[in-house]
Amino acid sequence: MTEPIVDVATLEPGIVQVRMQDRANKNTFTEELIAGLTAAFAGIRERADCKVVILTGYDHYFSSGGTQAGLRDLFEGRYQFSDKDLYSLALNCPVPVVAAMGGHGIGGGFVLGMFADVIVLGRESVYTANFMKYGFTPGMGSTLILPNKLGFALAEEMMLTAATYRGEELQRRGVPFAVVPRDAVAGHALELARTLAEKPRVSLMTLKDHLVAPLRAELARHVGQELAMHAVTFHQREVRERIDTVFGQ
């Protein structure tokens, strides 16, 4: 039997795991993955038994971000990234979300995890906000969430250079969340989730709502600014050439 691209499972009372496992596409943002994640978080909103969500990937991949076809569609103006609001799923989830990012987080896939409330990275895995690798400016709320979670200096460097960083390097650079061996990420995330699940659900929801309120209030403005930058930067011939020749490298 074929496993679902997005699997939702109750690990323990109060703890729900959402696992992205599109091995064929390395958890890029295919229509199926986007639909699966959207449905998973919509279902969680209706579950009174859920206190915390663990968002994770499979093996060596958390998420690889946009597909090549999707980037070409953005270049052609067929849609905007905001048409598929994947980036705010964790932010708008009513209960805390732990991103167990043991695998690689690339581009929008890295940003997806940064919108979680608690983050765990793998020392051996690679992480990058590589939008500028293709010549267009960052999207998906990157310009809001990356400075907020990583600090302005590191976030600015990541976005401008589109460089790739191992988790151990980010740990040396002082990222303010756990970086552990890749094979320890799942266990570490589960222990964090257990600590959260000990608390009353209403209290967790109330505190999260208060803590992320500034991000929620600012997100639409930053997305609007990112879309305006895309209108300037995305439709250059060089961008299409880079999407065609550099993707996946």
- Annotated catalytic sites, by residue? 230
Query: Cα(63)–Cα(108) distance, rounded to whole angstroms?
Result: 8
- In the DSSP assignment, the letter for residue 183 is G
Residue among 106, 155, 150, 151 at smallest CA distance from 131: 106
Q: What phi, psi does 119 have (nearest 5°)? A: -130, 140
Contacts of 157 by beta carbon, 8 Å cutoff, 6+ apart: 163
How crowded is residue 39: how many other Cβ atoms within 10 Å of its Cβ?
12
Annotate 32-50 with DSSP letters as a single string: HHHHHHHHHHHHHHT-TT-
Is residue 77 within 8 Å of residue 71, measured between CB atoms?
no
Terminal C-alpha separation, the chain: 32
